Amino acid sequence: MLAKPLVSLLIFVALIAGAGVWGLQSFSSLQSGGYSDPDSESAQVFTILEETYGNDPVDLAIIADFPQDVDTAASSESAAKLTDTLADIPGVREVSSYFSLGGPATLKSTDGTAAYFLIQFEDSVSGADETRLIKETAGESFGDVELHYTGIRAMANALNDGISEDIAISESIAIPLCIILLLFVFGSVVSAGLPLLVGASAVLGGFFFVWVATRFTDVSIFSANLITALGLGLGIDYALLMVNRFREERARGLAVKDAATRTMETAGRTVFFSGLTVAVVLASMVIFPQYFLRSFAYAGVGVVVVAVFGALVALPALLALLGDRVNKLKVLRGNLAPKDTGGWSSLSRWVMRWAIPVFVVTALGMGALMSLGAGVKFGLVDERILPASDPVAVSSEIVRDRFDGQESKPVEIILTGATAQQAADYATELSRLDNITRVQSVAGITADGQTDPRAASAFADYALGDQQRIVAVHDVEARSNDGITVTKDIRALEVPFTVQVGGIAADYTDSLDAITAKLPWLVLWVFATTLILLFLFTGSILLPLKAFLFNIMSLGATLGFLTWVFVGGHLQWLIGDFTTTGSIDATNIILIAVVTFGLSMDYELFLLSRIKEQHDAGMSTEDSVAVGLQRSGPIITAAALVLAANFLPLAISGISSIKMLALGISFAIILDATVVRALLVPSLMKLFGKANWWAPRWMRWIYDKLGLAH
């Protein structure tokens, strides 16, 4: 490869260009959902509603606020005109309302002046364009009636629009900031361009992997955000490591090609193990049934594979071609080659001199941060992740404040094998449960055990074959712990026939249960694979255990910090307003944990590779730690700072889940690159002494036989 660097580079560029041509076509195939468990009971109910009843949950709900009571003739006339206008919009399949469903009390506000209009779209449309068209046609007011939009489609549109706007703003801040940081981190204009080569290649290659995945399964559109952020991050990490090592070997007097070869043998080995470790960590998300989470496995593994390929093929070829010209157009004075002494070396020796107190104080500080997350409740997102001033968020508050029920988010129930009388009795029993405000079935609308015969004809098609459909409206947040309680209360009813419970609250319950069930397997996979890979890299059993423990501490501290911010409602003066819900989004935490765990192992390998190299050369543990930290500390910190600069601007997003993702990843990688690497690692390695390099004899025999030592 280094014998013909130009050929290697041209082949690499050709392959990436080809991958990019296909990869950039993936955007049209990416999906906006993926939060539900497709094998759950609630998903089965959705399928039955779609295939048997030809009916889907409400896509869009409109709260119509009338100038007078909704039961007046003037309100009925306005409602009829609004219904006709909505029904004529292309893509709208059905419009129902308080006025067409027999006047159920929960479809009318408690003050009597507002009512629900429920809209379902045709199966052949996405609903995004149709929702926008409805808003343009009906507007914020229809005559003298004020309209407020809520429901699944309204929230999806608000999220997509908000995310697009936030990303554009954040990139206008992050890109110039990252370019400036790269110039100072690499020290020259030429070398600062190298991570962009690896990063751009990783991004294009990542999209190619995603395009391949879309041929076989659904992939979330949010995977695109991971591809761009992770591609840049790994490009910076690997380019910094390779360029610094090349400069170091040139400073020792090696010829250009010999220096590039030595860089491949040392830093290249670290890049390979690092990439492999990050890839297996990210691959763990394929274990989840929700394709939103699985998508990050496809995207993440693809980005890592191409980033490693670029670092081990394109970078060495470029270094061999550039030689010392890699230092051209300096922005820093002096020799850019790394040194064995300096601030990091002095810090590590001070830490090791006071190893016990430093370790105890730092561990207590980390423990204090972790304690902030004690008792945290996990949930999933709802409309409250939007800015409080967003029209959809305002509509949701109107629903909470002025209506008894969540009409656009009912519980959908399918009875199989029940007689008409059993179904009627079940509906009555259902109506008596806490938080259930209205039940509609083939027998009519049941509320507080009473049946309204006038409404029976509206639900005549609720009984098909041996199945009967029942819809129960509740008065709690569907995507909340109260929604879970309602779902479990319904499922706990004992009946002699089959009951399947679906709807938004049930979907929320099943999705959280699926995540909870898979988490232990994810932790086991990450623990086992990182332990094996770090042992193969270091020949030690203690160092991998230490790395895993410190990463868990770092993640625990990050969870505590995020709980303090997003449950406690702090730092709004800095990152902007957001609504506290009393819980933390489980999917966000998993994504933060997996990405930062992978990047933390990246930094761990950078540090351990230099420490082990010095130790294998005959240095004592203390000296090898000091020199290793001096060599790797600037690289790790610089990489973390640039990556944080890429994420942090998103913390001002109006969408709280994006705030959390940006703040969580930035906090975790900076904490890991500074406190963990500069204080915890040197102090504990000093205390372990020679035990750092210990492994059982049989494991050491395997390590030696595989020839994995430097």
Instruction: Please report the pLDDT score of residue 41 as a whole number.
Output: 93
Question: Which percentage of the chain shows pLDDT scores above 90?
Answer: 21
- What is the average pLDDT across 662-667? 91
Instruction: Write out pLDDT tens, residues 122-174.
Output: 877 767 788 888 888 888 888 888 999 887 777 777 777 777 777 777 777 87
103 φ/ψ angles, rounded to the nearest 5 degrees: 70, 40
Pick the CATH number of 391-509 from 3.30.70, 2.60.98, 1.20.120, 3.30.43: 3.30.70
The CATH 1.20.1640.10 domain(s) of the chain lie at 1-30+187-338, 340-371+539-710
pLDDT, position 459: 61
- Distance (Å, whole) CA 560 – CA 577: 20
401/709 Cα distance (integer angstroms): 67
Between 73-77, 437-441, 670-674, the lowest mean confidence (pLDDT) is in: 437-441
Helix, strand, coil share (%) of the chain residues, nearest 5 = 65, 10, 25
**For residue 44, what pLDDT is reported?**
92
Which of 599, 20, 44, 591 has the alpha carbon at shortest distance from 295? 591
Q: Which of 238, 180, 203 is nearest to 26 (CA)?
A: 203
Q: Answer whether residue 335 shows pLDDT above 70.
A: no
Burial class from Cβ neighbours inside 10 Å (0-12, 13-18, 19+) for residue 126 reads: middle
> pLDDT-based confidence at 56, cuts 50/70/90?
low
- State pLDDT tens for residues 451-485: 555 455 556 667 777 888 888 888 888 878 888 99
**Which own/partner contact pairs does 324-329 have at CB distance under 8 Å and 24+ positions apart?**
324/250, 324/256, 325/190, 326/188, 326/190, 326/191, 326/194, 326/243, 326/246, 326/247, 327/187, 327/188, 327/190, 327/191, 327/247, 328/188, 328/189, 328/190, 329/188, 329/189, 329/190
- Listing DSSP states for 215-256 in one string gives TTS--BTTHHHHHHHHHHHHHHHHHHHHHHHHHHHHHTT--H
Q: Which CATH architecture has domain 59-150?
A: 2-Layer Sandwich (3.30)
Smallest CA-to-CA distance from 268 within 216, 310, 321 is with: 310
User: What CATH superfamily is the domain 340-371+539-710?
Assistant: Multidrug efflux transporter AcrB transmembrane domain (1.20.1640.10)
Taking 80 as the threshold, does the pLDDT of residue 28 lie above it?
Answer: no
- Residue 374 class from Cβ within 10 Å (0-12 exposed, 13-18 middle, 19+ buried)? exposed
**CA 563 to CA 559: how far, in whole Å?**
6
Residue 192: the pLDDT is 85
Q: Is the pLDDT of residue 31 over 90?
A: no
The two most distant CA atoms of the chain are separated, in Å, by 94
- How high is the pLDDT of residue 444? 65
In the structure encoding, which two tokens stand for residue 463, read together?
A: 């009984």
Average pLDDT score over residue span 201-219 = 89
169-190 pLDDT tens trace: 777 787 788 888 888 888 888 8
**Mean pLDDT, range 652-659, rounded to an integer:** 82
Q: What is the mean pLDDT of residues 96-113?
A: 84
Q: Which helix (H) or strand (E) holds 441?
A: strand 436-441
pLDDT attached to residue 302: 92
Burial 399-431 (b: 16+ CB within 10 A, else e): beebbbbbbbbbbbbbbeebeeeebbebbbbbb
pLDDT at residue number 647: 81
Question: What is the percent of the chain where pLDDT is above 70?
Answer: 93
Q: Between residues 119 and 388, which one has the greater pLDDT? A: 119
In 3D space, the residue among 144, 188, 145, 208 whose CA is nearest the CA of residue 16 turns out to be 208
Fold of the 1-30+187-338 domain: Multidrug efflux transporter AcrB transmembrane fold (1.20.1640)
Token duo for residue 244: 């610094």
